[in-house]
Structure 1
Amino acid sequence: MAPAQPSVISSWFSSHCLTHLACVTLTFSPPLTDPTQMMSSEHLTCGWLQQLLVVLLKLCLTCAGPLRPLNRTECTAKGTASYILVFTGHWSPQAFPKQYPLFRPPAQWSKLIAVSHNHFFRLWEEGAPASAGVQNFAELGVTVELMKAAKEARKRRMVGAMYRTAGIPNGIGHSSTELLMHPRSPLLSLMVKMIPSPDWFIGIDSLNLCEGSKWKQEVTIDLQPYDAGTDSGFTFSSPNFPTSPPENITKITSQMPNHPANSFYYPRLKELPPIATIKITQQSRSHDRQTSMSNHILPNSVSPRRFSETPLDCEVSLWSSWGLCLGPCSRGGVRHRTRYILLRPANAGTPCPELEEQAECVPHSCMKLQ
């Protein structure tokens, strides 16, 4: 017989605590006959039973522990399911023109880390602090701590299997791997680091591939970038500047962080175009199939989805101070000021305004020519 889950034991134990306490109260109440003795003994017995009640109640709550919701739908599928997971990067200068990294290093994707698990494990979670493993992966692309935590959870039967795909040396490209999902671990979580970036990644948190007694046939998810909350950089090439104290994992949008220096700040867009896509397709497990798809880079004939180009408006600096007036103040003398381009326009964005301006001199700014 399989051991009961902690959540079931906790719920049963908590629901029976008051019944047991009532039995204890009745059992320890001694019979008394003398009225005087009865009155004094009643006070002693009441006080003693109250203390016992408090002690036993604390014991019950301690043993029961935190209650977990019991309304989760368990996977009742018979047997395992085999899937092909395809990761497609859409990180292009057309879709994301602002500060697009062209060299040292150019835009690219790290290896993909995927874990199958149950409801008692989280690889990462939006709105929660990043673990040490998530921080190391999001900042440096190092997988040691992340895989160590997954292996420890696997010993406790919270994780089923771990998978990897090869990295992609460009912002646009594909990688894939084979998944074998078990009813005990029907959830899938994954992460891919954006290179270069301070601590940005894309991922999926606890995707359930099982619906009751059936495995899903196909799932496609458009992905957006996330900030791990451990580095305070705004741009792809920002130097390492740790966030102290660390913040929670948050989704990066076209408006947040609300700062012009942010590489994903596109105030004209309601939302960012998908920077990557995950497609998971169930496959029939034939015994005569010999070629494994694991870590296989798909051929270039598989073209990525096409998205509309993102317009990038020109950004210019503030005006410099006015220069000295050249020429006589009373006969057409002029003064100048300038500004420079911070960000050149792209994809039919607003063109740059004039970078130089002149105005008539005023008497106090005149410079007499010798």
Structure 2
Amino acid sequence: MGAPRPVFPRGAALWAFLLASLGGVAGQPLGAEPTCTAQPLARYSVTFTGKWSQASFPKQYPLFRPPAQWSSLLGAAHSSDYSLWRKDQYVSNGLREFAERGEAWALVREMEAAGERLQSVHGVFSAPAVPSGTGQTSAELEAHSRHSLVSFVVRIVPSPDWFVGVDSLDLCDRGSWREQVAVDLYPYDAGTDSGFTFSSPNFATVPQDTVTEITASSPSHPANSFYYPRLKALPPIARVVLVRLRQSPRAFSPPALGLGAGGNEIVDSLPDPETPLDCEVSLWSSWGLCAGPCGRPGAKSRTRYVRVRPANHGAPCPALEEEAPCDPDNCV
């Protein structure tokens, strides 16, 4: 007796079988509710505020060539099957160019291609660069119920490949659009350049690393520009606020790259928190020659120098010179 023949569903049951086999429509599991059921479109203002001041981040704070500043903001409204950047994952070639050199066009092309090919990006938006560490810039974006996530990046200038941003921030809360969202931002390393300091020369990370958050203790190296071992956590280096706009829906076109809707301005705000910075000194030099008259105890000395000067009531520098008794050298 042969094996039993498989029985396939017929008619309406066949369609249900096929839909279940394919996982529903457009990747949505059968019977699952849409991620966002709010009105199709919503418009938001995006206000980025730099909080990178010398008081908050005194260690190696860039004062010139170039001074502390922010690149243009570049982002997109997208669906869950797109990622501009993500912690513990590798960045794209476009984001690498942006994080290391501020070159945005390759990243723009990647986002546009994702919108055209996969329909996962609804629109690209940008805001102008900020010429100081504590400035402000703004833009507008349009979110769609099928593209309710927002991601963006802003490069820290100068830096090897450091940036701030948000990854897949959802503007929709099931059946309604969120009226306002505020997020504190902290520095990230793109994993493509091995520099420790703001002014480090270009030295590629081979093999490329994943995106990691820079903290007060990681990387755990005294040369790291964000290394503050006395702090449990870094203060926020920037902040972004997204506010839903109430104007009537209209035809929306993202602003041209570098020409955000709101422009930028210097922010007059509350004083920045002062981060104490302890003095850091070098290792001692070798002991010098022993000097002194024959037949009597001599003295030798060694020195060290200041690597990082204290700031904001941090620990003062210790003695930079030390003497010790010795027997005079070459005494006849």
Distance in 2 separating the partners of 1:347 and 1:94? 7
1:113 to 2:69 alignment = no
1:74 to 2:41 alignment = no
1:297 to 2:250 alignment = no
| Cα contact 2:53–2:272 (8 A) shared by 1 | no
Distance in 1 separating the partners of 2:260 and 2:93? 27
User: 1:317 aligned to 282, 288, 293, which one?
Assistant: 282
Distance in 1 separating the partners of 2:73 and 2:168? 15
Given the two structures, how large is their TM-score scaled by the length of structure 1? 0.77
How many residues align? The count is: 307
| Cα contact 1:90–1:304 (8 A) shared by 2 | no
Q: Which runs of 5+ in 2 are unaligned?
A: 7-17
Distance in 1 separating the partners of 2:240 and 2:55? 20
Q: Deviations over 1:220-269 (max 9, x none)?
A: 00000000101110001111111110011110000110111111111000
| Cα contact 1:325–1:367 (8 A) shared by 2 | no
| Counterpart amino acid of residue 331 in structure 1 | R
Per the alignment, do residues 287 and 76 of structure 1 end up closer, same or farther by CA in structure 2, a change over 3 Å counting?
closer
- Give % identity: 48
* Residue number in structure 1 paired with 2:142: 180
Structure showing greater radius of gyration is: 1
Distance in 1 separating the partners of 2:218 and 2:22? 42
User: 1:350 aligned to 307, 315, 322, which one?
Assistant: 315
Q: Where does 1:1-370 land on structure 2 (aligned, <5 Å)?
A: 26-27=4-5, 70=29, 74-155=35-116, 156-286=118-248, 294-300=260-266, 302-304=267-269, 306-328=271-293, 330-362=295-327, 365-368=328-331
Per the alignment, do residues 129 and 217 of structure 1 end up closer, same or farther by CA in structure 2, a change over 3 Å counting?
same
Deviation (angstroms), 1:287: 8.4
Higher helix share: 1
Q: Deviations over 1:190-211 (max 9, x none)?
A: 0000111001000100000001
Deviation (angstroms), 1:298: 4.6
Distance in 2 separating the partners of 1:329 and 1:279? 75
* Residue number in structure 1 paired with 2:14: none
* Residue number in structure 1 paired with 2:11: none
Distance in 1 separating the partners of 2:325 and 2:222? 34
Distance in 2 separating the partners of 1:202 and 1:194? 7
Deviation (angstroms), 1:333: 2.2
* Residue number in structure 1 paired with 2:10: none
Deviation (angstroms), 1:72: 7.9
| Cα contact 2:56–2:275 (8 A) shared by 1 | yes
Q: Which runs of 5+ in 1 are unaligned?
A: 1-23, 29-59
* Residue number in structure 2 paired with 1:3: none
Per the alignment, do residues 330 and 109 of structure 1 end up closer, same or farther by CA in structure 2, a change over 3 Å counting?
same
Given the two structures, how large is their TM-score scaled by the length of structure 2? 0.86
Larger relative contact order (CA 8 Å, sep ≥ 6):
2
Per the alignment, do residues 120 and 332 of structure 1 end up closer, same or farther by CA in structure 2, a change over 3 Å counting?
same
What secondary structure does 1:229 align onto? coil
What secondary structure does 2:113 align onto? helix
Off by >6 Å, runs of 4+ in structure 1: none
| Counterpart amino acid of residue 272 in structure 1 | L
